[in-house]
Chains A and B, each alone.
Chain A
Amino acid sequence: MKVTLWGTRGSLPEAGIPTVRYGGNTSCVAVEGRSGQLLVLDAGSGIRRFGAGLDPAVREVNILLTHLHMDHIQGLGFFKPLFSPQARVQIWGPPSTTMHLRERLGRYLSPPLFPVRIRELPCDLILNDAPRGEFQIGEFRVSADFVCHPGPTLGFRITENGRSLAYLPDHEPALGSTRLEGNPDWISGSALARGADLLIHDAQYTEADYDAHVGWGHSSIGHAISFASLAGAAKLVAFHHDPARDDKEIDRIMQEAASACEPPCELIAGEEGAVFEIA
């Protein structure tokens, strides 16, 4: 599968020269299977450019939403296929006991926050609660499970032909485990990430930042590295960069983290436009 990062920023888009390299768009990752099947992971502001460049011949897109915080859905109303009568768009989101995904997304996709209502979108739109467990989307085997982040939040594992991508962009495993070197059975998200070829994981904070933000639902770069080690991931992409962090700071934080703990796997700072082939 081919994995492309279209938005790597957390919380809020941050456009400008200081963030031009790692990018200012919020969470969005496109996954293309061998047969051309398309999955989009989250609909942050990065989804706009991805959708704008899509081949008009593409008729079906599946969007997997980890959760409905604004930075993960704010690009949805600007995703071109939603406005194409020929397109079939399936959106999968975290289940809720009280409201269907349509109602929850409708809070954003309706006036006064957005001029177009969901029911006015001309595409063939299907909204599903993502099952907790495994399900199939075309050639992809998808595993979804709740992970540690405020409100119902899913992490995903996408498997194709025995190779896997784990996507946990908003995740605070340290909150539920105190130490991340313990029994993985008691660490949020560990089953999703186990032995993944590519792990895209929250690394919003420095260690000092984290101490002031315990319970906010995010990880430090050190936690992300420990988690990747515990899971036995082959490659870690540090993701969901803090909007206050410019490119130079991200470089510095990554270098410091790498020298402090010798990452057990390849460590890469998530960069908008980066492409990973998992084959």
Chain B
Amino acid sequence: MAQKEVELILLRQWASHLNMPIFLVDRDGNLLYYNEPAEVLLGRRFDEAGEMSVFDHSSLFETTAEDGSPIASEDMPLGIAMTQRRPAFQRIRFKALDGTQRLVEITAFPLEGQGGHRLGSVAIFWEAHGQ
């Protein structure tokens, strides 16, 4: 694999020091990293999951809108950040890999380097409280 851009390297390091769940994908949506707080939320350690193609990670979680209706991955915050190059926010439900049902608020935004260089996108999760 090729060396990651320095912005992604620094972002991963930054995320590894934070106590909020962070999920990092490359410009094609492939999973590059999630931090320890995200491991708790997603139900699997990153060292076990590893880097993953966009197809694999988007089909890994049983995800719905907050009201339980189906939602396409491109309509979720990370999908919007990737395809529309803008930040997005949404509450969604998903089944973690340890079987726990979770309601989370997700904020995602695209990453752009100097000269408009597309790097990837970041999603930040907050566990929400609701029915």
Flag if B13 contacts A129 (CB, 8 Å).
no
Q: Distance (Å) between the CB of A152 and the closest chain B CB?
A: 5
Contact B115 A146 (CB under 8 A): no
A191 engages B114 (CB within 8 Å): no
> Would B6 and A176 count as touching, CB distance under 8 A?
yes
- A128-172 vs B: 1/0 string, CB under 8 Å? 010010000000000001111000100000000000000000000
Instruction: Please provide the chain B residues from 66 to 124 with a CB less than 8 Å away from any CB of chain A in the complex.
Output: 113-117
Candidates B1, B16, B114, B116; contact of A146 at CB < 8 Å? B114
Residue pair B4, A185 in contact (C-beta under 8 Å): yes
Number of A-B contacts (CB under 8 A): 53
Q: How far is the CB of B129 from chain A (nearest CB, A)?
A: 34
Docked pose: A189 CA to B6 CA in angstroms: 8
Tell me which residues across on chain B come within 8 A of A147, comparing CB atoms. 6
Q: A184 to B1, alpha carbons, bound, how many Å?
A: 9
Q: Establish whether residues A97 and B114, one from each chain, have CB atoms under 8 Å apart when the complex forms.
A: yes
Q: Are A187 and B3 in contact (CB under 8 A)?
A: yes
Q: Is A259 an interface residue (CB 8 A)?
A: no
Q: For chain B, give the interface size range.
A: 10 to 19
Chain A residue nearest in CB terms to B113: A146
**Do B7 and A146 have beta carbons less than 8 Å apart?**
yes
Per-position 1/0 for A183-224, Cβ under 8 A of B: 011111111000000000000000000000000000000000
The answer, among A129, A146, A185, for a CB contact under 8 Å with B6, is A146
- Alpha-carbon distance between A165 and B85 when the two chains are bound, in angstroms: 37
Q: How far is the CA of A214 from the CA of B16 in the complex (A)?
A: 16
Residues of chain A lying within 8 A (CB to CB) of residue B1:
185
Nearest A-chain residue to B10, judged by Cβ: A176
- In the complex, A186→B51 CA distance in Å? 12
Contact (Cβ within 8 A) B10 A97:
no
Is there contact, CB below 8 Å, between B13 and A191? no
Residues of chain A with a CB closer than 8 A to B115's CB: 95, 97, 129, 132
Mark interface residues in B1-21 (1 if CB within 8 Å of A CB, else 0).
111111101101100100000
What's the nearest-Cβ distance from chain A to residue B104, in Å? 27
In angstroms, Cα B113 to Cα A96, docked, is 9
A residues less than 8 Å from B6 (CB atoms)? 145-148, 176, 188-189
Q: In the complex, what residues of B have CB within 8 A of residue A132's CB? A: 113-115, 117
Q: How far is the CB of B105 from chain A (nearest CB, A)?
A: 28
Given contacts A186-B4, A191-B2, contact A175 B13 (CB under 8 A): yes
A153 to B, closest residue via Cβ: B6
Instruction: Please name all residues of chain A whose beta carbon is closer than 8 Å to the beta carbon of B13 when the two chains form the complex.
Output: 175-178
Question: Can you list the 7 inter-chain pairs with the closest CB atoms, starting with the nearest?
Answer: A191-B3, A176-B9, A95-B115, A146-B6, A176-B13, A188-B6, A95-B114
